Amino acid sequence: MRKVLFLVLAALLATTSLQAQPAVPEFAPLPYAFDALEPYIDTQTMEIHYSRHHRAYYDNMLKAASGSAFLERGLQEALTEIASWPEALRNNAGGHFNHDLFWRVMAPRAGGEPQGKLAEKINTAFESFEKFKEEFKKAALGRFGSGWAWLCVDTDGGLFITSTANQDNPLMNVGNRKGIPILGLDVWEHAYYLKYQNQRGGYIDAFWNVVNWPEVTLRLERALAAN
């Protein structure tokens, strides 16, 4: 009887211990091969960008978060309160989140135009898909130095385009306009310089050939449900 009680108590303590652990995000495998986005994004850039740049953001995020409650409610929730945390978490947690989204909104044999609700939302916000692409390119080109261009869902369910510096994103409570990002483009030079050199516009134009619109649509649906 004592043995049974001991085993039950041990199981309860183990469960409590597991529940108390912060929700550490994983460094997820790239969802396609390094060469899968050729010729639009080259193999060497993908390998360096994912394996070195993104990995460094992830590892440094875990180091900066160690011993803190930063990840207790999940990464996305933590980013909404980033102004209360050290700069190292803003840079590295933002870098991890942004890159994880970036890989998933691209895919081989993708591109084309969005369909369904996403297409309707884009047409409502920007009049047409072509005008949306023009506005998105303007935001990406207009980001001086390093940063990101974003398509986001506003609190009223509408879409808007913005850009952020460095590894900031629209979830963070540090920018001029907050929203839930559903599409992002990395415009740091390491994302394109090996292939496009200083021709950021060519890189932006090529991006449309690899956008994974079903994934963007899924993120739209989640954002609308969360609002």
pLDDT truncated to tens, each residue of the chain (227 aa)? 444 333 333 443 343 333 444 568 899 999 999 999 999 999 999 999 999 999 999 999 999 999 999 999 899 999 999 999 999 999 999 999 999 999 999 999 999 999 999 999 999 999 999 999 999 999 999 999 999 999 999 999 999 999 999 999 999 999 889 999 999 999 999 999 999 999 999 999 999 999 999 999 999 999 999 88
Express each pLDDT in 14-66 by its tens digit: 433 334 445 688 999 999 999 999 999 999 999 999 999 999 999 999 999 99
Closest CA to 170 of 184, 156, 158: 184
| Residue 27 covered by a domain | no
Give the pairing of strands 147-153 and 159-165: antiparallel
In the prediction, which pLDDT does 176 show? Answer: 83
CATH number, domain containing residue 111: 3.55.40.20
- Domain residue limits at 164: 40-227
Q: Which residues contact 220 (CB under 8 A, 6 or more apart)?
A: 117, 118, 121, 153, 182
Local structure of residue 211 (DSSP, 8 states) = B
Q: What is the pTM for the complete model shown?
A: 0.89
Q: How many domains are there within the chain?
A: 1
Q: Is residue 17 part of a domain?
A: no
**pLDDT for the residue 175:** 82
Residue 10 in domain: no
Q: Is residue 182 within 8 Å of 151, Cβ to Cβ?
A: yes
172 is a domain residue:
yes
Decide if 12 is inside a domain: no
Q: Is residue 163 part of a domain?
A: yes
Q: What is the pLDDT of residue 19?
A: 42
